[in-house]
Amino acid sequence: MERVAIAAALILVVVVVAVVVSRRRSDAPTQPTWTVPSVLDRADFARPDAPWLVVVFSSATCAGCHEVVDAARPLASDAVAVDEIEVTSRRDLHERYGIDAVPTLVVADAEGVVQESYVGPVGATELWARIAELRGS
Per-residue 3-state assignment (H helix, E strand, C coil) for the chain: CHHHHHHHHHHHHHHHHHHHHHHHCCCCCCCCCCCCCCECCHHHCCCCCCCEEEEEEECCCCHHHHHHHHHHHHHCCCCEEEEEEECCCCHHHHHHCCCCCCCEEEEECCCCEEEEEEECCCCHHHHHHHHHHHHCC
Q: Tell me the whole-structure pTM to 2 decimals.
A: 0.77
- Kindly report, residue by residue over 62-86, the tens digit of the pLDDT: 989 999 999 999 999 999 999 999 9
* pLDDT classification of 5: cutoffs 50, 70, 90: confident
- Average predicted confidence (pLDDT) for the chain: 89
Is residue 102 one of the residues assigned to a domain? yes
Is residue 8 one of the residues assigned to a domain? no
Is residue 100 one of the residues assigned to a domain? yes
Q: How far apart are the first and last CA of the chain?
A: 84
- Kindly report, residue by residue over 89-128, the tens digit of the pLDDT: 999 999 999 999 999 999 999 999 999 999 999 999 999 9
Is residue 89 one of the residues assigned to a domain? yes
* pLDDT classification of 11: cutoffs 50, 70, 90: confident
Structural domains of the chain, count:
1
- Write down the pLDDT at residue 106: 97
Enclosing domain of residue 98: 42-135
Domain of 64, CATH number, reads 3.40.30.10
Is residue 1 one of the residues assigned to a domain? no
Is residue 15 one of the residues assigned to a domain? no
Is residue 10 one of the residues assigned to a domain? no
Is residue 48 one of the residues assigned to a domain? yes
